[in-house]
Amino acid sequence: MSFEIRPLPGVTGAEVIGFDIGRDGADQAARQRLRDAWTDRVVLAFRDMEIDEAGFMRLAGLFGENVPQPVQRPEYRVEGFPFIRLLSSRHRDSLGDNKPLNVGGTWHTDHSHLPDPPRGTVLRAIRLPGEGGDTSFTNQRAAYEALDEETRREVDPLVGLHIYNSRYAPRRMATMTPAEEREAPSARHPLVRPHPVSGRKALYFNPIRIERFDGMDAAASQALMDRLVAHCEQDRFVYRHRWRAGDVLIWDNAQALHMVRHDYDPARERVMHRTLVG
């Protein structure tokens, strides 16, 4: 194979160098090598990818089946590609107060309120602000394995209630229409889940969506969440990706939290294409 997978320092992340979707995309051995690295390293960063929307979808398809985007409004659409969502730093809460949305700006995992959340999120840089706008990731498998035995006994049996927008979320989500609210599912997920491929356990929680854990009141649930976030965001578990032109990232929602840094000039638009895989 003519491409390289280069693990980054620490427990999270690997760069994929020299991958060509036309040359390597049909190679089953190449696909398995990528999927194994994704499971192990949680985040793969493809560098210098000269692809269009069709190539982006083909790359995502190497990792799983397309998953529809929840709340797919006109301002989020990419013409001709219903499984791609446009993410812009200029999006506003058009059905609410019309203020800018802090898109992705706190720790979260994508769409955990769904009964079957997408395993993978794939993100492609379209327009970068020049400075800032990094995306950070935690390794929730490594974070779980680093817990002491007493904490593991505490968290192992817990189940969380996930809804579209928790009242305790550190940032607000876009206002939904009444029809969207009626259709938005909720789900209960174990706080500690075995990975669907490796079987290794990882912490699975979402500060913007969890209302509470079964058997715990809201205050105790949020106190536990605060403890877990502080544990997981330690430098030893985190990879911070500094975007450059041609980057495409895929991360494993089953064993990662992620967050975009809103530390760039708001006059400079940051635009990404996102798709989901199951």
Annotated active-site positions, please? 108, 110, 258, 274
pLDDT at residue 183 is higher than 80: no
pLDDT for the residue numbered 182: 77
Domain boundary assignment for the chain:
4-277
Q: Residues 38-47: pLDDT tens digits?
A: 999 999 999 9
pLDDT of residue 101: 80
- CA 46 distance to own-chain centroid: 16
Residue pLDDT, tens place only, 132-173: 999 999 999 999 999 999 999 999 999 999 999 899 988 877
DSSP type of residue 16: E
Band (pLDDT 50/70/90 cuts) for residue 104 is: confident
**Cβ proximity of 95 and 174 under 8 Å:** yes
> How confident is the model over 177-201, as a mean pLDDT?
92
The residues near 143 (Cβ < 8 Å, ≥ 6 apart) are 202, 203, 231, 232, 234, 237
pTM to 2 decimal places: 0.95
- DSSP assignment string, 65-130: -EEPPSS--GGGB-TT-TT-EEEETT-B-TTTT-PBP-TT-SSB-TTTTSSS--SEEEEEEEE--S
239: which strand partners? 137
Mean local confidence (pLDDT), 199-223: 97
φ/ψ of residue 32, rounded to 5: -65, -40
CATH architecture for residues 4-277:
4-Layer Sandwich (3.60)
